[in-house]
Amino acid sequence: MFIMRNLLLLLLCVLTGAVSYAQQITGNVKDEQGKNLQGATVALKKLKDSSVVKLGITNTNGNYTFANIVTGSYFINTSHIGYAVKNSPSFEASSEGITTVPEISLMKSSGTLKDVAVTSLKPMVEVKADKTILNIEGSVNAVGQDALELLRKSPGVMVDKDDNLSLSGKNGVQVYIDGRPTPLSGADLAAYLKSMQSSSIEAIEIITNPSAKYEAAGNAGIINIRLKKNKSLGTNGSVNAGYSIGKFPKYNTGFALNHRNKKINAFGNFNYNNNRGENYMNFKRTQLDTLFDQKTIMNPKGNNQNFKVGLDYFINNKSTLGIMLNGNMGENVFGNKSTTDISYLPSGELVKILTANNSTVGERRSGNLNLNYKYSVAGGKDLNIDADRGLYRIKSNQMQPNNYYDKTGVLYSTRVYNFIAPADIDIYSLKTDYEQNFEKGRLGIGGKTAFVKTSNVFNRYDIFSGNRFYDSTRSNTFNYKENINALYINYNRAFKGLMVQFGVRMENTNLEGISDGFKWNGSKFMENESGFKRNYTDFFPSGAITFNKKPTSQWGLRYSRRIDRPAYQDLNPFEFKLDDYSFQKGNIDLRPQYTNSFAVTHTYKYTLNTTLNYSHVNDVFTQLVDTTERSKSFLTKKNLATQDVVSLNISYPFSKKWYSVFSNLNSSYSHYKADFGAGRTVDLDAFAFNIYQQHTFKLGKDYTAELSGFFNSPSIWQGTFKTSSMWGVDAGLLKTILKGQGTVKIAVSDIFKTMQWKAKSVFAGQTLDGGGGWESRLFKINLGYRFGNNQVKAARQRKTSQEEENQRVSDGGGGISR
């Protein structure tokens, strides 16, 4: 409590102390007819050298505001597609109060604009009405980290001991890559995220209030990972190389090329990383009269490559046709050395020792081909069509020797198993989105149909005297098909003093699963084919009201209903052996979980953002450690009865001269309650909070330093595990070289080596007490170099397919980024 109280006081001091320095500059932009011009880009520039201080975008009333501006001489540079660029008269920013800039009127351009170069540096973190954006591309401390590690340190995101994601106290996070949902979950999703290096990531968007335009999946919200893509005219590119070391060395490299002119935009990039690490996990499990004391060292090694290549063809001023292919390839070896001391509790005497030194060789291939068409005309009519074909190919070959020793250390029994488990996932989808102005507002309608087919084979072999023998009674094939059809309508309109957005999404779900294998009937194995079919249709309404009569103090109300469907792996009823005393299996009775969320938001002076949210979740599914055959345990997922979550999020960015800081506090209260019968109950209350801060120091002479850190309070994992607190601090330094074309980044992660977890669970007659960690403290260095034309020009600035997809995922942001 002492640490929690002081951290809260520190955050409040930063917030309250920073506000006293805030100065504001406001203004309005109109077109040549005197109408308010929405979406104009406004740049606040210093008079003495025209350097950009801040960037913003005008709102629906044509207004813009810059906060936290120091006293000085400035002017406003304003631009909008189809209009000539215009500068305001110079002015002096007042040392107190609000400085109002004279109204700026833009004139329609008479032809192709002269090339106007815009160079800007994005803030590390941007907070908008419905999401938080982490601009990884500009971060120093992010260098040398994978996507999962970046998420672990993100505001409000929790990653548990099994690499499952939760957001603001809720599980059921839907992960998107470039605006497209990935079908992976659990260990497969974690492995995929670990294969993505920060050098290939532009930004991470944490979307907590998706509109009806988004798929309804994701109870806690959506995390969209945007991969890099160059947007400059001409021919340009970049190369990078990185090295990091903790206990083992790791390295990565990559390049990107882009060519863009008035008719085409061709782009591509490739990234490679080679890594080796070490994790550890220790568990003490008490069940009846037996104590299992397990100590495990894990050594993952991997080589991963990912790429993106595409072409956009500008048919005319209205139509764009695009094609894009991205993929990921990886080969990994996972070593798992486990020793379990098995003791008799009443006497404390050691009975035997089990060692299971497993080795898994894995191979992962994934790819997605996208064809897209965009049609946009004056008057606000936009049509987007996307067709996607995706596939995932996963192979796993595990050797699992189980050696038993007596209490004196003499080997008396050996059992060796070999598990071969390939999985194929095929995805087909077609999506259409249409928007137009309607009744003084914006109307959007659209639909999507998607088909997913998976084939999962699990073959077990028993090894005797070095020979393999196929065990058909312990092998299994699981085939799963899923079809989701969706339609949505969404409408938003600005009134005097408020903005309204509402919509509804209808999703029809059809799924079928068949598991072929054998089942033990008490005396022998019998052939058993178990399957299920489900068909259901749900409606998912959403809405938001923003009260913006007073721009410096805006209130909002938001509501949404969302769903999480079980992952196909969690439905397969077959038992997967971990060792002789533990295994995991799916649950065909697992139902979807539904969430109703209500939120109140407030934005003060465009910077201090506060969100209070209440969510009620029905049929929560979570991973449980259950018991069987007296001394054995198995992992499975079941529907907890209900979960109620109340969360509070406060964020504030502050900058003064050479220093800037972003602070975020995310807290949540959760109540889990369920009764599984036979005396097995779950009734837990949990309060948890997360503090995140990012400090940036402009040191002069092209040096920039970063100091970032987070603190996670004790919380609940997977419904039954009570965890201890965890925190970490990173530091880094950036140096710009070669006349701004090159960069050198040096960073150290987890300086104090505090990123280690502890957790305890009491359920179904057993107690688990565990802890673990990984190679979290790393020294990292990265070199980058850009070549060619690196200016984004105003001439013919039409959005390409990827930019349009990212924009659609980012819609609904509202307000000016800081």
Q: Summarize pLDDT for 577-602 with one digit per residue, the tens.
A: 655 566 677 777 888 989 999 999 88
On average, the pLDDT of the chain sits at 81
pLDDT in tens, 123-166: 556 666 567 777 777 666 666 677 777 777 676 677 766 667 77
**Which residues face 802 on adjacent strands?**
none
Structure tokens at 812: 């609904």
pLDDT in tens, 6-48: 433 333 343 333 333 336 788 899 887 788 888 788 888 887 7
**Which residues face 308 on adjacent strands?**
269, 326
Return the residue matching tokens 């312990």.
Answer: 474
Provide the whole-model pTM: 0.73
Asked whether 771 and 756 are in contact (CB, 8 A), the reply is yes
Angle, CA 193 vertex, CA 258 and CA 479 arms, to 5°: 110
**Which residues face 470 on adjacent strands?**
461
Spatial CA neighbour of 755 closest among 778, 786, 781, 789: 778
Q: What percent of the chain has pLDDT over 70?
A: 80
The half-sphere exposure of 66 on its side-chain side, counting CA atoms within 13 A, is: 25
Spatial CA neighbour of 774 closest among 195, 143, 281, 334: 281
Asked whether 719 and 679 are in contact (CB, 8 A), the reply is no
Cα of 710 vs its chain's centroid, Å: 17
Structure tokens at 770: 């565990």
Residues with Cβ within 8 Å of residue 124, at least 6 apart in sequence: 134, 135, 138, 139, 662, 694, 696, 706
Asked whether 170 and 247 are in contact (CB, 8 A), the reply is no
- Sort strands 24-30 and 104-105 into parallel, antiparallel or unpaired: parallel
Report the C-alpha gap between 405 and 400 in whole angstroms.
16
Query: For the chain, give me the number of helices (H) and strands (E)?
Result: 4, 50
- Sort strands 742-749 and 778-788 into parallel, antiparallel or unpaired: antiparallel
Residues with Cβ within 8 Å of residue 426, at least 6 apart in sequence: 390, 391, 452, 453, 454
Backbone angles phi, psi at 118, to 5 degrees: -120, 115
Asked whether 337 and 357 are in contact (CB, 8 A), the reply is yes
Residues with Cβ within 8 Å of residue 264, at least 6 apart in sequence: 311, 312, 313, 314
pLDDT in tens, 255-303: 989 888 888 889 898 999 999 999 999 999 888 888 999 999 999 999 9
Return the residue matching tokens 């979406």.
Answer: 39
Q: What is Dmax (Cα atoms) for the chain?
A: 92
Which pLDDT value is given to residue 818?
A: 26
